[in-house]
Structure 1
Amino acid sequence: MSSNSSSPIIVTASIYAVLVLIWAATPLAIVWSVAEVHPMWVLIIRYFGACIIALAILAVMRNPLPFDKVSMQSYVAGSLNLIGAQLFIYLAANYLTSGLMALIFGFSPLVAGLIGHVILKTHKLIWLQWLGMAIAIAGLSYVFVDSADSQVNPWGVVLMLISMVSYISSIFWVKQINAPLKPMSQATGSLMVSALGSLLLIPFIWQYFPTQMPSTNAIIGFLFTMILSSIVAMLCYFWLIKRLAASTVSLSNVMTPVIALVLGATLNHEHISMHAIWGIAVVMCGIVLYFWKEWHEQYFAK
């Protein structure tokens, strides 16, 4: 009896761990993949490869892929997260370490909360969330003070912020359209729009067409982002969203940057100064404060 009841918990915990590890390793995979190939060519290859895999999975699952007006609008909205947000992440990979990319993207729930409070008026932030946001921003600013030592490039930061806004806008837009689509259908449609949209980049990057086989690390980066980041992580995320509270899934925003920093230092020899480590610790404290009310209500309130 206890074995049967613990089995779903083990499965859920395993899928959660896989998702966090994929999200944490994705910035490093991007950094590796763009080290020898132009970022936009990497993006095009990723989307067309992921699109083919997604269509195959959709066929196996026998899920529909409707092309009515509302569905098409939802695909376009979802593609803002892919061709929009990811485009700027790939450009930022030339300026930032993978750990710092993950750290900046960890701010996305805070920015989403701010947009929901100030612009969309969908929910109100309490004083503890404002405090957490202020502390997290102060920590990030502290990381950026000594940019030469902590390998922070202002252009990289700007590109990551644009990416974050595109990602959050995509989420709000998809929710607002509210198309009656299955997760895999939504993802596949958005990948198709993104792949087709990426073709518009070719006239501007044709001169950078890859002419030789990249290194092993670059190929690993290609395959990781194409299969794990674009397909597996997406399926894990939608599976967890249906079974766990949003507050539980949001814990990943604390874990992912820390794991990404460790992976970057271990596998890519990325140097993070003590100055930056203190700033990162402050950022993590701010994010924990921001989510504290939600976590407390979920796990401790009676």
Structure 2
Amino acid sequence: MNSNSSPLFVTASIYALLVLIWAATPLAIVWSVAEVHPMWVLIIRYFGASIIALLVLKLMRGPLPFDKVSMQSYIAGSLNLIGAQLFIYLAANYLTSGLMALIFGFSPLIAGLIGHVILKTQKLVGLQWLGMAIAVSGLSFVFIASADSKVNPWGVVLMLISMVSYISSIFWVKQINAPLKPMSQATGSLMVSALGSLLLMPFIWQHFPTQMPSSNALIGFLFTMILSSIVAMLCYFWLIKRLAASTVSLSNVMTPIIALVLGAALNNEHISGHAVLGIAVVLFGIVLYFWKEWRMQYFAKAKT
């Protein structure tokens, strides 16, 4: 392998790893909450991930400042963690892992909608509006086709709240614009999330785990604690520095497909033929939404 192809191989490998982690995370969450109360799973995840993140930060000799601006940024970042993830864990009791990934694939579309309508920082064109409409129509068809499966409207509502929390966190962190390195930002946000999760304990103490969970639940615990909370974050920030945002956003098309396959293969999640058609419509809508951005990126590369 020559020197030119080596960096490309490393980038492609990290990208593939990120997509796989994101695709498998909903299934890991479903497994972990099957036997343990979702909020206890969340507490265990964030305290474990905080300890690991602190160790990684120490090995990297990275700073962890606690000035006013940094603390504001940690709190803003925690809205993505304790905020968004809290509702995802609750939704795991109502939806299959594949549908959770499919719904979360709408996050860039909702972010664009908020940027266009509320923040006035982004202008959506006709093709993007069409993509949104098609994607929503496809998702509606999926739920109609899956009426006899594990689909519950409460799960959809919880996932929508999760997405709004996730997107709000991104906008808030950008608005604060603290001079923090990615690992410092992530570690601080994880610590705030872990401390924030303690507020849940008085309400869930009676559900404290009293026996060792199954191997699937343990795999789910470790996967979300190490891979979803630490490794995926490092991969994401590494790719954002080296790839165009449009290239990274392509993962929103790939992740739901892989998640649906994993759910069917490893968790016996049934996907009807009509639901598959609806999923294809959703993904087509997402592709339409990103088409302008991808096309502009392609021509920009062609000119250079």
TM category (shorter chain) comes to over 0.9
By how many angstroms is 1:300 displaced?
A: 3.8
Alignment partner, residue 189 of structure 1: 188
Give the secondary-structure state (helix, strand or coil) at the position aligned to 2:147. helix
Asked if structure 2 preserves the Cα contact closer than 8 Å seen for 1:51 and 1:188, the reply is yes
Write out per-residue CA displacement over residues 48-93 of structure 1, whole angstroms, 9 at most, x where no aligned residue.
0000000000111111100000000000000000000000000000
Instruction: Specify every segment of 5 or more residues in structure 1 that has no aligned partner in the other structure, as ranges.
Output: none
Alpha-carbon contact 2:145-2:272 (below 8 Å) kept: no
SS of residue paired to 2:173 = helix
> Secondary structure of the residue that 2:178 maps to in structure 1?
coil
The residue number in structure 1 matching 2:282 is 283
Corresponding residue number in structure 2 for 1:199: 198
Alignment-derived partner of residue 28 in structure 2: 29
Q: CA deviation at 1:148?
A: 2.5
The unaligned stretches of length 5 or more in structure 2 are: none
2:73 maps to what in 1?
74
Q: CA deviation at 1:299?
A: 1.5
Q: How far does residue 150 in structure 1 lie from its aligned partner after superposition?
A: 4.1
Q: Verify: 1:219 aligned to 2:218, yes or no.
A: yes
Q: Secondary structure at the match of 2:94?
A: coil
CA distance in 1, matches of 2:11, 2:47: 30
- TM-score (normalizing by structure 1): 0.98
User: 2-side partners of 1:213 and 1:111: how far apart?
Assistant: 39
CA offsets, 1:136-167, max 9 Å, x none? 00001111224433432100000000000000
CA distance in structure 1 between the partners assigned to 2:278 and 2:148 by the alignment: 13
Which amino acid counterpart does residue 101 of structure 2 have in structure 1? A
Partner of 2:166: 167
SS of structure 2 residue aligned to 1:4: coil
Alignment of 1:272 onto 2:271: yes
CA distance in 1, matches of 2:194, 2:121: 32
Kept after mapping to 2: 8 A contact 1:150/1:273? no
CA contact (8 A) 2:146 2:275 kept: no
Say if 1:105 and 1:160, in contact at 8 Å, map to a contact too.
yes
Work out whether residues 98 and 259 of structure 2, in 8 Å CA contact, stay in contact via their aligned partners in 1.
yes
1:18 Cα deviation from its structure 2 partner: 0.1
Match of 1:158 in 2: 157
- Partners in 1 of 2:59 and 2:36 — Cα distance? 33
Match of 1:51 in 2: 50
Who is 1:249 aligned against?
248
The amino acid that maps onto 2:250 is: L
Contact 2:146 2:272 in 1 (8 A): no
What TM-score, normalized to structure 2? Answer: 0.98
Kindly provide the amino acid, as one letter, of the partner of residue 265 in structure 2.
Answer: T
CA separation in 2, counterparts of 1:150 and 1:104?
16
Q: Distance in 2 between matches of 1:196 and 1:300?
A: 47
Aligned to 2:5: 6
Q: Which amino acid aligns with 1:242?
A: K
Q: CA RMSD in A?
A: 0.9
Instruction: Work out the CA distance in 2 between the residues paired with 1:13 and 1:35.
Output: 34
Q: Is 2:111–2:167's contact at 8 Å kept on the other side of the alignment?
A: yes
Q: How does 1:104-183 map to 2 (within 5 A)?
A: 104-183=103-182
| Counterparts of 1:84 and 1:255, CA distance in 2 | 25
Look up the SS of the partner of 2:115 in the other structure.
Answer: helix
| Distance (Å, rounded) in 1 between the aligned partners of 2:134 and 2:151 | 19
Task: State how far apart, in whole Å, the 1-side matches of 2:143 and 2:23 are.
Answer: 21
Structure 1 Cα separation of the partners of residues 79 and 234 of structure 2? 19
**Is the 8 Å Cα contact of residues 150 and 275 (structure 1) preserved in structure 2?**
no
In the aligned structure 2, how far is the partner of 1:274 from the partner of 1:167? Answer: 31
Q: Is the 8 A contact 1:78 1:174 kept in 2?
A: yes
Q: Provide Cα deviations, 1:84-112, integer angstroms capped at 9, x if missing partner.
A: 00000000000000000000000000000
Runs of 4+ in structure 1 over 4 Å off: none
Question: Sequence identity, in percent?
Answer: 87
Deviation at 1:127, TM superposition (A): 0.4
* 1:80 and 1:170 in contact (8 A); partners too: yes
Give, in whole Å, the separation in 2 of the partners of 1:203 and 1:147: 37
Q: Which amino acid aligns with 2:297?
A: Q
Aligned-partner residue type, residue 59 of structure 1: K
